[in-house]
Amino acid sequence: MNKLLKALSIASIAHKDQKRKGDGGAPYINHLIEVAYLLSEYAQINDCRVLEAAILHDVLEDTAIQKETLLEEFGQVVLFYIESVTDDKTLSLSERREAQLRHISAASMEVKLIKLADHCSNVASIPPDWDRARVVEYLEWSYQVASKCFVANENLEKIYVSRFAASMKVLESV
């Protein structure tokens, strides 16, 4: 429990100046809390290491937090989960996506769970200023990744599929 609160504290400080592009520009921490909550509530995850990694899943990609800090504070397993869902930002977008698809297929159930919960959150908060082509492209990409994670949890799969369908429906009415 203490570590979980520490993860929240570190993430809230690290992401303090970031906002969601969708979700009406909500504070970024809302996304991280949602991802952890989806895992706890719908996938019944009570392994704190998975929940800590869920809260911290974007810190390496989007903040100045270093691997060493995560290793020291949360240990090797949590760091491994976080690194497994972190893109190599030196690659181009298409290279990153290719690498992600390759990695996620071979990833552990814990990593697939975090990724699936992340996409459950993202697919429901498409930035309103994206044009149709960008939304379609994003949804297609998201589905490719998420569907490789469905095996990890049936409830999260259902949530993803229904949120995906809702986003597609909005698109049809545009």
Binding residues vs Zn ion (CB under 5 A): 58, 118
Quick one: 125 or 153, whose CB is closer to Zn ion?
125
Nearest residue to 52 via CA among 66, 67, 70, 69: 70
Could you tell me which residues are beta bridge partners of residue 19? 27
CB of 173 to Zn ion, least distance (A): 27
61, 83 contact by CB (below 8 A): no
Residue (52 or 58) nearer to Zn ion, CB: 58
As a whole number of angstroms, the distance between CA 124 and CA 26 comes to 13
Catalytic residue annotation: 61-62
Nearer to Zn ion, 2 or 64 (CB): 64
Report the nearest approach of Zn ion to the CB of residue 31 (Å).
Answer: 6
